[in-house]
A and B are shown apart, each in its own frame.
Chain A
Amino acid sequence: MRFVEVRRLHKQFDPPKGTVAVDDLSFGIEQGEIYSLLGPNGAGKTTTISILSCLLRPTGGEATVAGASITGDPAAVKRALGVVPQELALYPDLTARENLAFWGKMYGLRGQQLDTRVDEVLALIDLSDRQKDRLESFSGGMKRRVNIGAALLHKPRVLFLDEPTVGIDPQSRRAILDGIKDLNRAGTTILYTTHYMEEAQELSNRIAIMDHGKMIAEGTHEELVRSVGEEATVTLSVDRDLDRSLAIWCSVEGVTSAEAQDDRARLLVGDANAVVPRLFETANREGIRITGVNVAEPNLETVFLALTGRALRD
């Protein structure tokens, strides 16, 4: 059995008529892995996390976390688990230290052990020097870090992080992503949700793409990208003669298709690095002036688009 095992999970709010937020979802996470759920708003990521952390009851299916059933033995699940909720869930009128100490106590830590862990976590989230300040005086990024820290005090074996980088500056985001990698290196199994494909790509061993409560694809980043073909898209703008340009480029070596799209030429090419210089050469020879160029290597965005016909971000 995998470390986190989800089998045919189903959740409908207010049955029989309410939203089906999770629909026949199955996946497994190996111990020591970072596994991402990637999906647009409303895909059912938070609902999945809430079910796995025993906050919501599933309307169907079963799941185990660290070997314990979420319905049969929620207490064991909760002991193994740290949960970082999507929305900040902290006390703004308590200091950073008091917040961490409180959540540590809720995980059963006391006395010297608690103090030591609070110190360690404060150092980890780089807020030791602000520990005596109330949270209400913190920046958004600092609060996010405390929000994560509060789930780490008991050294959970599994960590669920629900979009922990939403709405913060690039620098704090960098710090958070690096921190997550460190935790994983130290042995924590991680379930991460996001709607940023770059994050999923950078962090995860494996990625599940979710849409409307269903998993529509799963695999490593490379597997997913390969599944929709390896061709890059080159988009070229020309000052005139678009039709003639298309006809010429069509026969350039390495171009598999060429079509006009919004007054620009959209080409699918095998290896953009080799093909793009050739396109410029031909254009030069034929007296065509290129005014703009864009190369898009295939990525998760392309995968999502290919599978759903929609963009990942609205």
Chain B
Amino acid sequence: MRKALDIALKDVKRTFRDLPALATMLAAPLVIAVVLGSAFGGDKGFSIAPTKVVVADLDTPATAAAPDSGAAAAAAPTQATEDSTANGGSVGSAVVQALTSEGLQALLVVKQVDTQKQATDQVDAGEAAVAVIVPAGLTAGLQSGDTAGEITLYRDPTKTIGPGIVNAVVQRVIARVNGAAAAGGAAAQLAVADGVTKPADIGPLASQAAQSYLQQAQARPAMAVDAREPKVSAADKTKDVGVAGPVLVGMMIFFMFLAASNVARSILDEDANGTLPRLFTTPTPRGVILAGKFTSVFLTVLIQAVVLMVAGKFLFHIDWGGLAPITVLTLVGAGVAAGFAVFLMSLARTPGQAGAISSGVFLVMALAGGNFIGTANPGGIFGTVRLITPNGWLLKAWDTTLRGGSLGDVALPVVVVAGFALLTFLIGVAVFRRRFA
């Protein structure tokens, strides 16, 4: 139907005009692949002059935010149990800690200042490429659950890569914190189900759950790639795949899910800002309108995947494998990302809720699926656990393809992933059709 395609193309156009969205879709996976690649001790081609970053962490109490808190913060998680306002517990310190983490030291030079003005002044004066401003009271606001805070990136418009890295890192922290907020919410709900009714009792439970989620996430940081070499099992084809391909595939799949949820969220956005109701007043059947929205999700991640693969080929000389398997894998990958995104959006009432749910779920799926350790089969229980997620199956299939496997070799994962895609998509469509009937 022409109109469905018109709707989808309109969305794709809007996405490609949205610079922050593009940075997350395209720049972030490439940059993180570079970072992870160098952590693997890979190609020499991965070298970038370090970017100067200023951080104004107004969120963490002054005592904790000493100028050299990089090292201090790294040791913080244990003490956070005692005192929830200590630096280990604040979003601000989590950002600082992530930016100063070991893997990024060659890429980012981080300096802390006390005020927002000092930070932006340094960028204006060209002394730093990007300023990260964590507003005062962000953590407290999130814990009490009544304010949605915002971390500001103030960047030198002429620099791209450095701010891109910083953006990606901050995004990750935010995803983690959103997960924590979700955990807090879940704990509060469980408590209510168990008969706890006083708000004064629920609050602490929620913040406890959020705290412990944060600590777990910190104890097991997504990028701590303990320098594991890709293990090649005897059954695998034996082509040498290098590091760039596996690493980029991991990032690509993770960011495809994020991009898909971004686009799928526009269904809720359009509902909230009136364009969806307005579409319903035109002589366009509702089914066609929803089909258009779903097509736009699929199309966007498909374009994203193709761009990333082409970039990988030219920037990192990745040999992706046979045309047939990579085409099919790209299609089912985009399909499953779109399906999951539509499904998760259908569970949310508001765009804000949708953002929190999807970034939480996709981060957990990526952690469980092994997106942050490339395509290598980690073996052991983790090798089994990851197959609960479509991410795990996709990584397994891409590993085979990168090693020169044929379409037949990836048939099982392809079928499983397509199943995931179909199931989530159908549930999502059913829910949306009912909601907008």
Residues of A that sit less than 8 Å from B by CB: 50, 53-55, 75, 78-79, 81, 83, 85, 87-91, 93-94, 98, 102-103, 105-108, 110, 150
Task: Please indicate the chain B residues that have their CB under 8 angstroms from the CB of A75 in the complex.
Answer: 283, 285
Partner of A89, one of B3, B10, B274, B285: B274
Taken residue by residue from 332 to 364, chain B's Cβ proximity to chain A (1 for < 8 Å, 0 otherwise) reads as 000000000000000000000000000000000
CB distance from B282 to the nearest CB of A (A): 4
Q: List A contacts of B2 (CB < 8 A).
A: 105, 110
Given contacts A102-B6, A102-B10, A106-B6, contact A78 B274 (CB under 8 A): no
Beta-carbon contact of B10 and A85 below 8 Å = no
Instruction: For B275, list chain A residues within 8 Å (CB).
Output: 89-91
| Contact yes or no, A93 B14, CB < 8 A | yes
Cα distance, A182 to B396, chains bound together (Å): 66
- B281-A88 in contact (CB<8A): no
Take A94-B10, A102-B6 as given contacts and tell me if A89 and B283 are in contact as well, using a CB distance cutoff of 8 Å: no
Question: Contact between A91 and B14 (Cβ–Cβ < 8 Å)?
Answer: yes
Q: Report how many residues on chain B are interfacial, defined by Cβ distance under 8 Å.
A: 20
15 pairs, A vs B, C-beta closer than 8 Å: A54-B281, A55-B277, A78-B282, A81-B281, A85-B277, A88-B274, A91-B14, A93-B18, A94-B10, A98-B10, A102-B10, A106-B6, A106-B282, A107-B283, A108-B283
- In this assembly, does B44 line the interface, its C-beta being within 8 Å of a C-beta of chain A? no
- How many Å from the CB of A4 to the closest CB on chain B? 15
Which residues does chain A contribute within 8 Å of B274, judged by CB atoms? 85, 87-89
Contact with A along B11-31 (1 / 0, CB 8 A): 001100110000000000000
Instruction: Given the known inter-chain contacts A89-B273, A94-B13, A106-B3, please indicate yes or no for A83 contacting B283, CB distance below 8 A.
Output: no
* For the complex of A and B, 4 pairs with smallest distance between CB atoms: A89-B274, A89-B278, A106-B282, A78-B283
A134 to B273, CA, bound (A): 17
Interface residue? B284 (CB, 8 A): yes
**Are A85 and B278 in contact (CB-based, < 8 A)?**
yes
The distance from the CB of A253 to the nearest CB of chain B, in whole angstroms, is: 58
Cα distance, A110 to B2, chains bound together (Å): 10
What does DSSP make chain B's interface, helix, strand, loop or mixed?
A: helix
A106 to B285, CA, bound (A): 10
Could you say which residues of chain B place their CB within 8 Å of the CB of A55? 277, 280-281
Q: Are A105 and B17 in contact (CB under 8 A)?
A: no
Q: Is B217 an interface residue when CB atoms closer than 8 A count as contact? A: no
A94→B275 CA distance, assembly (Å): 13
Chain A residues in 8 Å Cβ range of B422: none
Q: In the complex, what residues of A have CB within 8 A of residue B283's CB?
A: 75, 78-79, 106-108
Does B113 lie at the interface of the complex (its beta carbon under 8 Å from any beta carbon of A)?
Answer: no
A152 and B280 CA atoms in complex are apart in Å by 16
A78 to chain B, nearest CB (A): 4
B279's closest neighbor in chain A, by CB?
A106
Residues of A within 8 A of B18 (CB): 93
Convert B282-303 into 0s and 1s, putting 1 for each residue whose CB lies closer than 8 angstroms to a CB of A.
1111000000000000000000
CB distance from A74 to the nearest CB of B (A): 9
Which chain B positions have C-beta within 8 A of A107? 282-283
Closest B residue to A49 using CB positions: B281
A156 vs chain B, min Cβ distance (A): 11
CA distance A293 to B275 in the complex (A): 49
A53, A87, A93, A105: which contacts B6 (Cβ < 8 A)?
A105
A103 to B2, CA, bound (A): 13
Q: Which residue of A53, A91, A110 is within 8 Å of B10 (Cβ)?
A: A91
Q: Which residues of A contact B282 (CB under 8 A)?
A: 78, 103, 106-107
Q: In the bound complex, what is the Cα–Cα distance between A98 and B12 (angstroms)?
A: 13
CB distance from B272 to the nearest CB of A (A): 10
- CB of A308, distance to nearest CB on chain B (Å): 30
Closest to B11 in A: A91
- Set of chain B residues within 8 Å of A91, measured between Cβ atoms: 10, 14, 275
CB contacts (< 8 Å) of A79 on chain B: these are: 283
Say how far A133's CB is from chain B's closest CB, in angstroms. 13
A108 CB contacts on chain B under 8 angstroms: 3, 283
Q: How far is the CA of A78 from the CA of B282 in the complex (A)?
A: 6
How far apart sit A53 and B281, CA to CA, in the bound complex (Å)?
A: 6
- Residues on B with C-beta less than 8 A from A98 are 10, 13
Known: A89-B275, A106-B6. Contact between A78 and B17, CB under 8 A?
A: no
